[in-house]
Structure 1
């Protein structure tokens, strides 16, 4: 039973009748819709909710949706593929809702878990389960709404670029930010990548309109279809970028936003990638120190200052000689590195990572392969959802596209600040996105000229030791949007609701329900 299912079990069943009664009256349409007739038809659509049977993409989701069937409801939102041509093709956005449990409903709380490429529909069940377990006032006053962004999850068309066999082999799925040696991308392979994605994912028009600004427009259509005059939103990681861009584009449509694990809004792709690599190296160094001090036989040795080199000595042999792992598979270098990255998102995973490295020394790779599978979202039957493919595709629209010289410079810079992830063989390569259709409309910095006079106070949440989105980004966004910052002392990626901190959750709940901001020196610990 996965953690989402555990959260639901025995917690929400008693609340089903109250929730269903709360959602029985259709919400009126908000007045703030565009004048353009073609767009207005999208804004004025009626969202029809029903069973979620067709929305589950994994065995875990199916089990969760079956258990929560009396409480959750699903629908599809139509949006234009290209907002400059709203009369042309449309896409279908998967939406899941858990109706408010109490009688004093404020509206909808729309969620985005991050990525980019993570689905928000199933995430809403996790968050609602946590809120119910803690008897949070948030679930009393808000419908909890998750949606799979365009190209993601149960939304259609969904991004699909690789076969399951290619995914198992990690073909062209390494991330230059974290894996500086990576694959030797060429103009030819970049074109093959774009062509494969277009053929399997709805064509060039879909690929060219996957960016954050497109999703922000979708979210405003969703707000209207849900009947909310203003948006109440919670976003984690990449979801903070989506929230900040929405605030920039639709400042008067924001009621409240809680943004946790902030992507730095002023950094370009190069600088952000290097900064993120530095954050993961910091997490690795803390893991190595813990390993040396708290374990009897640390596989990285007793001197944390040379742990990066010791780590590569363990992993590099896997390039030529992968070790056996579960179900007749093997663990190679890239898989071990992806598993390591997955573990470094939170210090709670340090013991598992150390066990995995010890296991490799003993000739097996089961632990790190499991971590790699979780990160890559591999299903037990060997199939994959589209998370990593969607992540790459969305970044191809949002991020800067480097030529071979700049991409090589990036990999060299990442290798310098993150030696744990450097195998010493930094290759010359062009950007995987070199042949991607369309061009970025995101821009750096984003949300830089937002009308703060028209924008409500947002709430920025940040863990000081967050490896994936370093704390400096939260400080920057809080200053940029003139909004309060909740500082959380700890070592993990994100803290709000899913982080297990009553201090954080109380402050966020007070803000979302009563619009009460925390004091300027607000501080919690994990």
Structure 2
């Protein structure tokens, strides 16, 4: 159905708030902020609401959440926002919010988002609260995560597939490039768009789940938390939320850490091709490391690794591999997805090697479980809505491709950039679900207008597979902010245990001190 690398499964960069594409004048750090816009009287009741905090158990949407949300140091609430900001007296949405209060002298709240689009900020904050107990960041800030509208514990909730339909979708190959194959795939994609519409609350819900609306929710949340200015940490797609907020509300920003960014001026096509190239770079780095290990499943010559991977996985198109003792099977799409999941972090490389070796022996269990992680499938067989939310939000955030020739060229360039993903059957130039979406896009690529924005910090990893390094350089320049370059091969780095990175990020968040020009750290 939908190629999850079509529009960046873990990051996005078209961070506009309905402003036109333009090479706009840039601000300089410390320049005077424009006068704040006059508040909309229709939003007063939302900005003045008081959050009712309580236990987090009822907010859990997965078994993992149930475990982490049981921490008595965590408290949760729901924020009410307009479903459609053009009609604030109409229907409302409710945003799930989780926090752990600062353990020391409090500066304010640190809002955070893990990416996606479709990732749960509540789950991220709950996870970080346990890891950062002794961190100066947790001492000085309330750690606050929110599930963006449509995601996780927030309502209305995006819903497109039931669990049985998810299993069928993962087994669906969509590798037939013939006119009949293209027509079949497009019919499936059109059906997917209709299911999302019917099961998520109708076209009006799908029209208002994009980043344009999330940043307005975040400003109401900032006020409800009692913060005069926003302090924010956004990973991956969360950098789109952060830079879009900076453009919409520069006068309300205290500090932004944007980790795993993409160039906000890039088109969807440019970004997709670059991301595919990033994953091929990570695959090549894995293959080079694997070649030095005993019994590497891709051989001892890294130059042959892509061909060897294709030889190992392409037979799954005709004959899926048994997995979990025969209870399930590994499809070709899941083998590639499981590999992509392992390429996000070099710590997963030994797991990937074991998975590929097991596949060579006829057992697809390890790769299948890696694909389960990517697809948000719990051990009980129930799927979360993060991938569905990713597709839905992308369809209103990204540029829409409705020309099959343009779609074919995108797929051709993507395969050329990441040949390890090439199924060898040719280009299937089917339009994806976004072409059939019942609501128009609400964002487009442009240079952000951020006059008066205080200095921000962008973190970019040199070997990031999902959000290539140069995009972080470009975003830092677009925001006239600081840049921390991190040597390594993984997706994002802030507050993940590297002392060099964490010290710089903490110093910026707490003291608003940017690192010197050219600052670099190295991952172990």
Q: Confirm or deny a common fold (TM above 0.5).
A: yes
| Match for residue 92 of structure 1 among 83, 91, 94 | 94
Match of 1:299 in 2: 297
Match of 2:432 in 1: 431
> Taking structure 1 as reference, are residues 183 and 524 closer, same or farther at Cα in structure 2, changes over 3 Å only?
farther
CA offsets 1:265-319 (integer angstroms, 9 cap, x no match): 11110000000000000000111111112x2222212221121121111111111
Determine the C-alpha separation between the residues in 1 that align with 2:351 and 2:321: 18
Match of 1:422 in 2: 422
Determine the C-alpha separation between the residues in 2 that align with 1:494 and 1:320: 36
Q: Check the 8 A contact 1:475/1:485 in 2, yes or no.
A: yes
More moved, 387-396 vs 160-169: 160-169
| Match for residue 315 of structure 1 among 305, 313, 317 | 313
Match of 1:22 in 2: none
CA offsets 1:240-279 (integer angstroms, 9 cap, x no match): 1110010011100000011111122111100000000000
Q: Check the 8 A contact 1:153/1:385 in 2, yes or no.
A: yes
Determine the C-alpha separation between the residues in 2 that align with 1:416 and 1:393: 27
Match of 2:21 in 1: none
Match of 1:27 in 2: none
> Taking structure 1 as reference, are residues 464 and 427 closer, same or farther at Cα in structure 2, changes over 3 Å only?
same
Q: How far 1:173 sits from its partner (Å)?
A: 8.6
| Secondary structure, aligned partner of 2:222 | helix
CA offsets 1:465-517 (integer angstroms, 9 cap, x no match): 1010000011101111111101111110000012x201111111111111111
Q: How far 1:36 sits from its partner (Å)?
A: 2.2
Q: How far 1:140 sits from its partner (Å)?
A: 1.3
Determine the C-alpha separation between the residues in 2 that align with 1:219 and 1:71: 23
Alignment of 1:493-512 (within 5 A): 493-498=491-496, 500-512=497-509
> In the alignment, is residue 55 of structure 1 matched against residue 47 of structure 2?
no
Match of 2:196 in 1: 197
CA offsets 1:107-153 (integer angstroms, 9 cap, x no match): 10000000110000011011122211xx2211111110000000100
User: RMSD across aligned C-alpha pairs, in angstroms?
Assistant: 1.9
Determine the C-alpha separation between the residues in 2 that align with 1:129 and 1:185: 47
Match of 1:128 in 2: 129
> Highest relative contact order (Cα 8 Å, sep 6+), 1 or 2?
2
| Match for residue 516 of structure 1 among 509, 513, 517 | 513
Q: Normalization by structure 2: what TM-score?
A: 0.89
Alignment of 1:393-472 (within 5 A): 393-403=392-402, 404-425=404-425, 426-447=427-448, 449-451=449-451, 454-472=452-470
Q: How many residues align?
A: 481
Q: Check the 8 A contact 2:337/2:374 in 1, yes or no.
A: yes
> Taking structure 1 as reference, are residues 174 and 95 closer, same or farther at Cα in structure 2, changes over 3 Å only?
farther
Determine the C-alpha separation between the residues in 2 that align with 1:292 and 1:314: 16
> Taking structure 1 as reference, are residues 518 and 497 closer, same or farther at Cα in structure 2, changes over 3 Å only?
same
Determine the C-alpha separation between the residues in 2 that align with 1:335 and 1:171: 7
Q: Which 4+ stretches in 1 moved above 6 angstroms?
A: 172-176, 182-185
CA offsets 1:398-451 (integer angstroms, 9 cap, x no match): 11111222111111000111110001222121132112122222110252x221
> In the alignment, is residue 325 of structure 1 matched against residue 320 of structure 2?
no
Alignment of 1:11-22 (within 5 A): none
Q: How far 1:34 sits from its partner (Å)?
A: 5.4
Q: How far 1:39 sits from its partner (Å)?
A: 1.1
Determine the C-alpha separation between the residues in 2 that align with 1:482 and 1:356: 44
CA offsets 1:43-102 (integer angstroms, 9 cap, x no match): 111111111111111111111122x1x210000001111111111111110000101111
Q: Check the 8 A contact 1:151/1:159 in 2, yes or no.
A: yes
Q: How far 1:169 sits from its partner (Å)?
A: 2.9
Match of 1:482 in 2: 480
Match of 1:9 in 2: none
Q: Check the 8 A contact 1:397/1:438 in 2, yes or no.
A: yes
Q: Check the 8 A contact 2:182/2:429 in 1, yes or no.
A: no
> In the alignment, is residue 105 of structure 1 matched against residue 106 of structure 2?
yes
Determine the C-alpha separation between the residues in 1 that align with 2:136 and 2:43: 35
More moved, 305-314 vs 470-479: 305-314
Q: Check the 8 A contact 2:174/2:185 in 1, yes or no.
A: no
Gaps in structure 2 of 5+ consecutive residues = 1-35, 176-180
